[in-house]
Amino acid sequence: AQSVTQLGSHVSVSEGALVLLRCNYSSSVPPYLFWYVQYPNQGLQLLLKYTSAATLVKGINGFEAEFKKSETSFHLTKPSAHMSDAAEYFCAVTPGAGRRALTFGSGTRLQVQP
């Protein structure tokens, strides 16, 4: 079975500061990993995904994440936060093979202070 743990249900940063949202996964087989973002009163949308190609994955809106097998991590970063980045972020995992639905983490709410 696969699972993800997101450390920190709330993260607050200043505008222009580095954003770091943490995600650790557990999977018995090579995983596919995803980050989704949910803006207020909207559905989730895909930020980026790792599917066993490059370990550093670039997504939309300047976000990127690095797959580190040795640390079983897939942390999300952005060099400089913008007010519009305020949202809830979800890490998700699925086995790389087989027909299984995504397992999501509990989410991290990002606040950006002016």
Partner 1 sequence: GAGVSQSPSNKVTEKGKDVELRCDPISGHTALYWYRQSLGQGLEFLIYFQGNSAPDKSGLPSDRFSAERTGGSVSTLTIQRTQQEDSAVYLCASSERGQGAGGGELFFGEGSRLTVL
Which residues are at the interface with partner 1 (CB under 8 A)? 6, 9, 32, 34, 36, 41-46, 49, 51, 90, 92, 94-107
Report the nearest approach of partner 1 to the CB of residue 79 (Å). 25
Cβ-contact 89, 78 below 8 angstroms: no
Nearer Cβ to partner 1 (1/114) = 1
Closer to partner 1 at the Cβ: 70 or 99? Answer: 99
Q: How far is the CB of 16 from partner 1 (least distance, A)?
A: 29
Tell me the closest approach of the beta carbon of residue 80 to partner 1, in angstroms.
26
